Structure 1
């Protein structure tokens, strides 16, 4: 019993901090709302167009502003009050959710409305993302940073289970308008938590230009041992390994010939696996050779993705979605905790903006590429190819003796 209690306390040790608890609750509520909207949005985009390219285009436009502006967002996160920057981001995203709800309520929504608002939401996230990534480590002690990152992953994936389930119920009983309305109201939770926490970071006054500060951050990354490797790995991971969820509606309609309830089931399986993966990371202590372990997990993720692509039996697909979710979250948590630990607080906004840019850029590029390949080769062959590419790349970095990037991985520092 004592061992169980000690294990529980170790797993959830970041919750000892009041400000972290407040941010966790607010972020969880907001993320649930986001997944409620994403459920309705993905389903409706495909329903309106019957073209998987538009699913990829919607994902691409949501991520494009992050690729364009997140480096600027990182500079501002190091120069401004991070709470105010986050609040501005939340206000923008909340306004977009309510506007989309109104468009549906008056039956005037077009696909281009959804695509345009996805871009605006991404614009808000391009400044809010680095601010949130920089704020999180200041809410806990340095010894609990890895645990806090894992717990943040837990809340994200709880939302991945609750959000699509709630989204499916809301969509089928009340309609798409209420999915977007619920998302709009969910932003109030994170806004309230931002007003309640105490932000300890005080930005340093500087006369350097934004461009000079950005270059300083890039120099820091290039000189910091292991950081460049993480940036490259983050991009490749999302380019080949994170496209599965975005094209689930295609599998549901064209492979399994089912409706929204099957879409919900697959998303819930993915979210449950992600929670298990995040809890496994939270329970573990910081590991030596963490980069090597991450590469092994990514190689496994590629195989799981290829297996899902060729599966034609729903129970097997649900099981594979569970393991894919666990692999995605464990690898992402390991990489993010390493990036945070390598960084310093004064440079954190810029460092995390570069890391997040690499991590997020792969998602829309992969989605857009698959959106073009699926009509030509079919959804199964296209997704299986992405999975095999991820496995091949991970194994190459794992075994290659010529690649200097992952030398620290073999020595145990990464």
Structure 2
């Protein structure tokens, strides 16, 4: 009994920190709403346009600001209190969700409205994504022993919401339309805003504030380029994000035109990915400290290519859902391990800038892949485009092993 209790205690050790606990539960509510909106928005776009390229364009618009501005946002994150920045981004997201709900409810929503709102959402994400990553260390009181656990719990939360949100979103869209899903999302942001306001944090140490912002940026980039292992971690995230995540932009096409399962089936595919991702995060929570992190990172990437190629060939909804479980597991384990390794290796004074580079790699290259794969899907079909993306991911394993051999030795 003592051994079991000890295992469970270690599995949730980060929750002993009050600030992280507040953030954890506030974020759970908010993320469910965000996944509802994401599912409803993709479905709305495909119904409005019938175009795979349009799906890619919306993704591109959503993440283009991340590609353009996230490196600069890292300077802000190291110069200003991170809680204050996150309060701003959550309020910004809530306002955008209200606008989207009103336009859709009024029946005047057009594709260009969605593109503009996606750009504005992406602008907030360019600050919010690296800001959240850098804020984790503060919420666990700089306890590096709880860092992997906190990141894994965050990922568990994200993917639990990914299971719940798309399923609810698909049912809401099928029964009531897209607007209620957007309105519910707007309301859920109140949970994370309240949790941030209730935190008790020590005065932040803002070493970068006294220096020139461009000098701060140059210092961060110089550190990244000079540390080959960290550069390798960021580079591989960029490439797998472009080819692997980019291919998942085609999921509405698979659900509607290939598997013929409609909005509910699309929600099920998204939820299946969430099930796999949750399993990956839980395996890291319970076993992560025992794993050789570098080898586990490489192993998680090996399955991405074959799973994508299998998804491209599948015409069975249950098989497609099973493959989405595999993709969810592998995507999550590689991202959590990469995130943890970077945060363990980088000094706190540079964390915001380096995590912005990580966000730039993850979120900035995703839209490039989504746009290219979406356009390719319009020309050769979604299955062929997804199969090619899977083949690229399989080829990246060789690049990973040859170009960055030290990555496999990280513990």
TM-score tier by shorter-chain length is over 0.9
1:359 CA displacement: 1.2
1:286 CA displacement: 3.5
CA distance in 1, matches of 2:366, 2:124: 17
Which residue does 2:108 correspond to in 1? 108
SS at match of 1:226: helix
Structure 1 residue 231 corresponds to structure 2 residue 234? yes
Structure 1 residue 316 corresponds to structure 2 residue 319? yes
Which residue does 1:130 correspond to in 2? 130
CA distance in 1, matches of 2:53, 2:179: 24
CA distance in 2, matches of 1:390, 1:329: 15
1:213 CA displacement: 0.7
Structure 1 residue 373 corresponds to structure 2 residue 397? no
CA distance in 2, matches of 1:3, 1:109: 57
Structure 1 residue 364 corresponds to structure 2 residue 362? no
Note if contact 1:295-1:395 (Cα within 8 Å) is conserved in structure 2: no
Moved more, 200-209 or 291-300: 200-209
1:24 CA displacement: 0.8
Note if contact 1:224-1:342 (Cα within 8 Å) is conserved in structure 2: no
1:372 CA displacement: 1.0
Which residue does 1:170 correspond to in 2? 172
Which residue does 2:151 correspond to in 1? 149
Which residue does 2:12 correspond to in 1? 12
Aligned counterparts, 1:235-254, within 5 A? 235-254=238-257
CA distance in 2, matches of 1:75, 1:228: 18
1:221 CA displacement: 1.6
CA distance in 1, matches of 2:348, 2:313: 45
After TM superposition, the score normalised by the length of structure 1 is: 0.95
Q: Deviations over 1:18-42 (max 9, x none)?
A: 1111111111211111111111100
Note if contact 2:33-2:188 (Cα within 8 Å) is conserved in structure 1: yes
Aligned counterparts, 1:9-408, within 5 A? 9-140=9-140, 141-200=143-202, 201-204=204-207, 206-224=209-227, 226-286=229-289, 289-398=292-401, 400=402, 403=403, 406-408=404-406
Q: Deviations over 1:122-157 (max 9, x none)?
A: 101111222211111111111010111000000000
Superposed structure 1 runs of 4+ greater than 4 Å apart: none
Note if contact 2:208-2:349 (Cα within 8 Å) is conserved in structure 1: no
CA distance in 2, matches of 1:389, 1:296: 16
Moved more, 152-161 or 79-88: 79-88
CA distance in 2, matches of 1:142, 1:109: 47
Note if contact 2:78-2:208 (Cα within 8 Å) is conserved in structure 1: no
Quickly say closer, same or farther: Cα 1:287–1:360, change in 2 above 3 A: farther
SS at match of 1:107: coil
- Count of residues paired in the alignment: 408
Note if contact 1:35-1:159 (Cα within 8 Å) is conserved in structure 2: yes
CA distance in 1, matches of 2:189, 2:82: 17
CA distance in 2, matches of 1:108, 1:48: 12
Q: Deviations over 1:318-343 (max 9, x none)?
A: 11111111111111111111111111
Gaps of 5+ in 1: none
Gaps of 5+ in 2: none
CA distance in 2, matches of 1:383, 1:26: 35
CA distance in 2, matches of 1:285, 1:27: 23
Q: Deviations over 1:222-265 (max 9, x none)?
A: 23351111111110110111134321110011111221111111
SS at match of 2:357: helix
Q: Deviations over 1:263-305 (max 9, x none)?
A: 1111111111100001111112446752333122212111111
CA distance in 2, matches of 1:107, 1:118: 18
RMSD: 1.5
1:160 CA displacement: 0.3
Moved more, 30-39 or 5-14: 5-14
SS at match of 2:261: coil
Structure 1 residue 413 corresponds to structure 2 residue 410? yes
SS at match of 2:108: coil
CA distance in 2, matches of 1:242, 1:367: 8
CA distance in 1, matches of 2:215, 2:121: 27
CA distance in 2, matches of 1:180, 1:237: 30
